[in-house]
Amino acid sequence: MNCKPFSLFLVSLLVGCGGSGSSSDSSNKANSTTMQTLSIMAKYKDSCGNETPASDAALLIHNSDYSNKEIIYADANGKLTYTTDNTNQTLSIIMRGENDEVNGIKPIFLATYIDQPVVDMGNYYHYTGSTVACQCQSFEVKVNVPSRSNDIGSGSISGAKGGGDINNDIGYTNFTNVSACKDSTGSWSLISTLIDYNYPEQAFAALIPDISTVVETSADLEGLVVNIDTNTEASKQVSTVIDGKYRLRNYVFSTYGNVYGFDAESVDFYAVSAYNFETLYDIPNVDDAFYWTLSSENSTNLNKIFDLPLPEIDYISLFDILLSESGQYDLSYLPNMDYLTVGIDAEYNDEIVLSWILFAPISGQVPKIENIDLSAFISDDVLDTSVDSIVMYIDVQGYHGVNGYQDFMSNRTERTVENRILDKWSKFDSVYFEMTMSNFDAISSNGSNQGSKVAKRPAENEVANKVFDKLFAKINR
C-alpha cells in the first residue's frame, strides 16, 4: 500500500508510514533437503450451510518485512498450495466475498497469520451470510407453557433467519412471520423457543425440528439454573449448543437473576460465560468504542459451580497498541492468554470494503501493513475514494489448555464442536477493544490522544448482545 489518505491513516495508526522497526524472520528452516507443503481448501459458506469453492481466493507468502514474496491463486476447487523448506511461514489469505459488491467494488477479506505452521490447514471458510441459494419460508407457531398457564412470559426464538413478531400472552407466546430456511441437506433448520418468567423465576423451552409441520407446540423443557461464580459484578449468559449452534441463549446484565441451561438428548454442550461490557464515550474523534472482558467455559455438566473470573486489564493497554509509533507491544503478563488479533474493517455505508485481521503472538510487533501489497486486488486510489469509516479492534484471547501461540496455531484445526469440551479447549478468556471512526485525521501516530479522559456510562443491553455475537463469531471462526 502506498501512503495515500486512507492507507496513510491505517499505517499511521498501526506502525507509522515508512516507520522503523524490525520484524524477525518467521520462516523457520526445516533443513535443506526436507520440503513441507501448506494446503488450504478455500470455500464460501452461506447462511444455510451451502458451500461453494472459492476459486477467486489467493494466498500471499510474505517476506520477513511483510512484503509479498509470492502470490498463489486458488484452482477451480478453491485449493491453495505452497511448498517450502520452512516449517513455519507468515502468510495472508484473501477471500473476495463471492458475488457481493459494495459501491461497485468486490470486497476483500484478508487474514494474516504470523508463523503459520506449514501443514494442511483443511477447509478455510468465508461466511457470506447470504440466503440467495436458500429455500426459505415464513411460518407462525404458538408455544404453550403448561407450567405457567396463568402467567405472561417473555419469549425469544433462535435458529430462524428472521425472528418476526413476538406476542406474549397468558399461558403462551405467539411467534409470527418467522423466516426459516432449509439447510444444505434439504431439512428445515432446528428452531428453538425460550420463554422466561419472573415471580418466581423460571424458563421453559421448546425444540421444533421441522417448523413446516408445527403450528402449535408446548414448551416442556424446564431450564436448569446455572451457578456462575466470578470476581466482579459481571453479566452472565448461557447458551445450549445443539448441532454446533448456540441456542436458547439467556442472560442477565447484573448480579441478580438466573441463567438457564436446557437438558435435551441433542445437546452438544453448554456455553457458560461471565463478562463485563462497557460503552466508552468521549474519546476524541472516535464515533463509538466498546471494551469487553470475558471468561467462558464449555461443559456437558450443569450440576457444578462455574468459576469464571474475568481477566484484569485496562482498555488503555489495548488502545495504546493502536497508537504505538514503533508497533511494539507486550501483553505476556496476562495469564492464560495465547494469541492476539488486530483487525480493521474499512466500510462504505456500513458495508465492508476491506477487512483485515492479524493473528499474532501476545508480544511482538504489529506488522507493517504498508508492505502488504494488495495492488493485484484493489488499488489505494479505489480505497481512498470508497471508504467513509473504519472499525478497528484488538482482541487478546487464550485457552486454559493451550500453551502459547505456537501451540494454538499448530492445533487450532482440532477445535471442532466435538472437541470444545476437552480440557484443551473448554475454558476461554478474552479481552476486546473496538472503536469506530469516520474522521481519518482523528489520531496521529505520535499518540497525542493516549491520555484522553473517557467518560463511561452503562451500555444498552441490545448493544451488548450485538457485540457478544460479534465476538463469538471471531472466537469460533
Instruction: Please state, in angstroms and as integers, the Cα–Cα distance from residue 409 to each residue in 22, 86, 295, following that order.
Output: 23, 15, 21
Mean pLDDT of the chain: 84
Handedness of CA 27, 28, 31, 33 (dihedral sign): negative
pLDDT value for 473:
56
Who has greater pLDDT, 378 or 178? 178
Residue scoring higher pLDDT (401 or 381): 401
pLDDT for res 151: 97
Q: What is the pLDDT of residues 254-301, one digit of tens each?
A: 767 899 999 988 899 999 999 998 888 877 888 889 898 999 999 999
Query: What pLDDT is recorded for position 472?
Result: 56
Q: Which of 25-34, 276-285, 467-476 has the highest mean pLDDT?
A: 276-285
What are the pLDDT digits (tens) for 371-397? 788 888 888 777 777 888 888 899 999
Residue whose grid cell is 456437558: 300
Average pLDDT over residues 111-122: 94
| pLDDT score at 12 | 45
Looking at residue 281, its pLDDT comes to 84
pTM attached to this predicted model: 0.84
Maximum CA pair distance of the chain? 77
Over residues 347-370, the pLDDT tens digits come to: 888 888 889 999 999 998 877 667
Report pLDDT for 463. Answer: 54
Q: pLDDT-based confidence at 221, cuts 50/70/90?
A: very high
Band (pLDDT 50/70/90 cuts) for residue 451 is very low
Question: Could you report the per-residue pLDDT of 62-100, keeping only the tens digit for each?
Answer: 998 889 999 999 999 999 999 999 999 999 999 987 667
Evaluate if residue 468 carries a pLDDT over 80. no
Is there a contact between 243 and 158 (Cβ–Cβ < 8 Å)? no
Residue 107, pLDDT above cutoff 70:
yes
Overall average pLDDT of the 239-265 stretch: 90
DSSP string computed for 139-195: EEEEEE-GGGTTSB-EEEEESSSB--EEEEEBTEEEEEEEEEEB-TTSPBPPEEEEE
Written as one string, the DSSP assignment of 427-472 is EEEEEEEEEEES-TTSS-TT-TTTT---EEEPPPHHHHHHHHHHHH
| Residue count (the chain) | 477
